[in-house]
């Protein structure tokens, strides 16, 4: 089966080219001008941008966080992703039963995703405790199962202490895995939180104050030093929200350490004034939204290449049933926001169309570096032989984000009312059109598991 996309502005991190792209058997088979194929179905791109499909390397679909389960599963979450121009996700496995081995959650997550995901998917492992058996098991997860990155948490229920974090990052580096970390100083967060509660400041309005940015920045600096102590093991900082943390990351990068940073749309486009709203619980997530001045620091990081990835940390809970009942008590509010459908349009509109980043930089942040960093050699570029995971963006289409147009199961979008210039009008996953003109046209269960390669420093 062949599809010929004609009259496109092709952009990836290597080239920009006005021309055509031929897809055969799910792969890109030719790129050039005036391409012909006698049997191909023709798609006229109308001169619009043709990018590699987005890769969102930070989602939490169907996650059980103890007090709630996220409302989007691998079907509705990937459907929303596809409609927003994303063609692959790497989901963070949630915690399993206390003491479980690394394979336990892999089996659980394979069940969650297969026959449900509409686009391709992989998983990050989760390190919820450290002992000799866990350390021994890491190599088989990487080399047999295709799980070449793991997350460890320095806060929440299964936080690792410093010696366990050091043991984990050291062994992960040795077996060819990338350590990703949720960095927040848990002890400092607990103290800040207790002080607020003692003062009767319990509503979601106070969530941001309960986790100051210094708690995050301290944990980033600590993990950078532990990774260095572990023989310069590679480190990936998830959901960076502030400039102080970025200063530590830059410093490490300048000294030659492999420290990679990810930020998310919520930290670029939303700020802590959301906590003054009566529906503040919609914005409860960790790290929390920061003062507006942090946004510019993150944009600088994107522009100067000290931040390499924009992912979402998609973790949706319904406002009415799951968040609003905890409006008066931030300690009972499930943490997380939806956003998998909004990442590409937000960054394209506010980044490319506003002149902050080039179209090529947009591809690097949303697709190319995610593929390189997380071991997806067949994705992230417009090259012959690559999977035909593609998205066409119409830069002239202007629309306001509103939840009624989203394809998830949540009941709000945190980006309601933001005007977007430039929308994805067609998304293709391995040669199949999965979204067109804001409608989902894909197939439940068509997504395949991505067996990822071991980590190799792409810089």
- Give me the residues that bind Zn ion (CB under 5 A), please: 182, 313
Nearer to ligand URP, 188 or 441 (CB): 188
Q: Which residues contact 195 (CB under 8 A, 6 or more apart)?
A: none
**C-alpha span between 229 and 325 (Å, rounded):** 45
Nearer to ligand URP, 102 or 333 (CB): 333
Cβ distance 252 to 222 under 8 Å? no
**C-alpha span between 63 and 124 (Å, rounded):** 13
Nearer to ligand URP, 336 or 447 (CB): 336
> Minimum CB separation from ligand URP for residue 412, in Å?
16
The three-state secondary structure class of 426 is strand
Q: Is 225 exposed, middle or buried (0-12, 13-18, 19+ CB in 10 A)?
A: middle
**C-alpha span between 312 and 265 (Å, rounded):** 6
Token pair in block for residue 264: 């998310």
- Residue 336's binding partner out of Zn ion, ligand URP, none, with CB under 5 to 8 Å set by partner kind: ligand URP
Please measure the distance between the N-terminal and C-terminal CA atoms of the chain and give it in whole angstroms. 36
Q: Helix %, strand %, coil % for the chain, to 5?
A: 35, 25, 40
- Residue 335's binding partner out of Zn ion, ligand URP, none, with CB under 5 to 8 Å set by partner kind: ligand URP
Q: What is the residue whose two structure tokens read 């936080």?
A: 159
Nearer to Zn ion, 182 or 323 (CB): 182
Angle at 88 between CA 56 and CA 382, to 5 degrees: 100
- Residue 6's binding partner out of Zn ion, ligand URP, none, with CB under 5 to 8 Å set by partner kind: none
> Minimum CB separation from ligand URP for residue 69, in Å?
13
Nearer to Zn ion, 182 or 379 (CB): 182
> Minimum CB separation from ligand URP for residue 75, in Å?
20
Nearer to ligand URP, 46 or 66 (CB): 66
> Minimum CB separation from Zn ion for residue 155, in Å?
8
> Minimum CB separation from ligand URP for residue 212, in Å?
16
Token pair in block for residue 447: 């997504």
> Minimum CB separation from ligand URP for residue 337, in Å?
7
**C-alpha span between 334 and 410 (Å, rounded):** 13
Nearer to ligand URP, 178 or 352 (CB): 178
Residues that bind ligand URP (CB under 6 A): 60, 182, 285-286, 313, 315, 335-336
> Minimum CB separation from ligand URP for residue 410, in Å?
14
Q: What is the residue whose two structure tokens read 């003491």?
A: 99
Q: What is the DSSP string of 232-271?
A: S--EEEEEE--HHHHHHHHHHHHTT--EEEEE-HHHHH--
**C-alpha span between 119 and 438 (Å, rounded):** 16
Q: Alpha helix (H) ranges present in 151-242?
A: 162-174, 186-198, 213-229
> Minimum CB separation from ligand URP for residue 44, in Å?
40
Which residue of the chain is nearest Zn ion when measured via CB? 182
Cβ distance 168 to 245 under 8 Å? no
Which residue of the chain is nearest ligand URP when measured via CB? 335
- Residue 285's binding partner out of Zn ion, ligand URP, none, with CB under 5 to 8 Å set by partner kind: ligand URP
Strands 390-400 and 309-310: unpaired
Nearer to ligand URP, 49 or 123 (CB): 123
- Residue 452's binding partner out of ligand URP, Zn ion, none, with CB under 5 to 8 Å set by partner kind: none
Nearer to ligand URP, 246 or 435 (CB): 246
> Minimum CB separation from Zn ion for residue 117, in Å?
18
In 3D, which of 203, 337, 331 has the Cα closest to residue 277? 203
Give the CA distances from residue 93 to residues 37, 62, 207, 390, 407, in Å, rounded to whole numbers and listed in that order.
43, 9, 25, 26, 22
> Minimum CB separation from Zn ion for residue 219, in Å?
11
**C-alpha span between 183 and 301 (Å, rounded):** 18
Q: What is the residue whose two structure tokens read 């001008």?
A: 33
Nearer to Zn ion, 87 or 316 (CB): 316
Nearer to ligand URP, 50 or 61 (CB): 61
Q: What is the residue whose two structure tokens read 């319904």?
A: 318
> Minimum CB separation from ligand URP for residue 367, in Å?
21
């Amino acid at each position: 089966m062949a599809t010929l996309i004609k009259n496109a502005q092709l952009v990836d991190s290597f080239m920009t080219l006005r021309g055509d792209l031929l897809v055969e058997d799910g792969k890109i088979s030719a790129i050039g001008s005036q391409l012909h194929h006698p049997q191909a179905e023709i798609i006229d791109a109308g001169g619009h941008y043709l990018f590699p499909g987005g890769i969102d390397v930070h989602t939490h679909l169907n996650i059980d966080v103890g007090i709630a389960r996220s409302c989007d599963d691998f079907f509705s979450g990937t459907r929303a992703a596809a409609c927003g121009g994303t063609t692959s996700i790497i989901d963070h496995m949630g915690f399993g039963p206390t003491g479980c081995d690394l394979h336990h959650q892999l089996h659980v997550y394979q069940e969650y995703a297969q026959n449900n995901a509409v686009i391709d998917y992989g998983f990050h492992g989760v390190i919820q405790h450290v002992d000799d058996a866990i350390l021994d098991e890491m190599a088989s997860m990487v080399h047999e199962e295709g799980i070449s990155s793991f997350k460890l948490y320095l806060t929440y229920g299964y936080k690792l202490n410093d010696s366990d974090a050091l043991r984990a990052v050291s062994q992960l580096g040795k077996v060819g895995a990338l350590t990703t970390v949720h960095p927040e100083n848990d002890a400092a967060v607990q103290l800040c939180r207790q002080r607020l509660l003692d003062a009767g400041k319990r509503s979601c309005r106070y969530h941001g104050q309960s986790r100051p940015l210094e708690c995050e920045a301290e944990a980033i600096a600590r993990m950078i030093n532990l990774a260095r102590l572990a023989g310069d093991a590679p480190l990936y900082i998830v959901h960076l929200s502030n400039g102080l943390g970025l200063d530590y990351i830059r410093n490490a990068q300048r000294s030659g350490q492999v420290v990679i940073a990810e930020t998310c749309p919520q930290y670029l486009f939303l700020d802590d004034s959301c906590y003054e709203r009566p529906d503040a619980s919609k914005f409860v997530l960790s790290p929390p939204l920061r003062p507006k001045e942090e946004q510019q620091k993150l944009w600088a990081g994107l522009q100067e290449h000290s931040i390499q990835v924009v992912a979402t940390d998609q973790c949706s809970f319904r406002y009415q049933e799951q968040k609003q009942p905890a409006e008066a008590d931030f300690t009972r509010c499930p943490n997380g926001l939806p956003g998998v459908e909004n990442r590409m349009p937000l960054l394209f509109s506010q980044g490319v169309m506003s002149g902050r980043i080039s179209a090529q930089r947009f591809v690097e942040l949303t697709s190319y570096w995610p593929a390189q960093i997380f071991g997806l050699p067949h994705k992230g570029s417009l090259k012959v032989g690559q999977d035909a995971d593609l998205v066409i963006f119409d830069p002239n289409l202007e629309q306001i984000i509103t939840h009624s147009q989203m394809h998830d199961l949540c009941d709000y979008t945190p980006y309601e009312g933001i005007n977007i210039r430039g929308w994805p009008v067609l998304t293709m996953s391995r040669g199949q059109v999965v979204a067109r003109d804001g409608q989902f046209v894909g197939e439940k269960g068509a997504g395949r598991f991505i067996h990822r390669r071991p980590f190799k420093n792409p810089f």
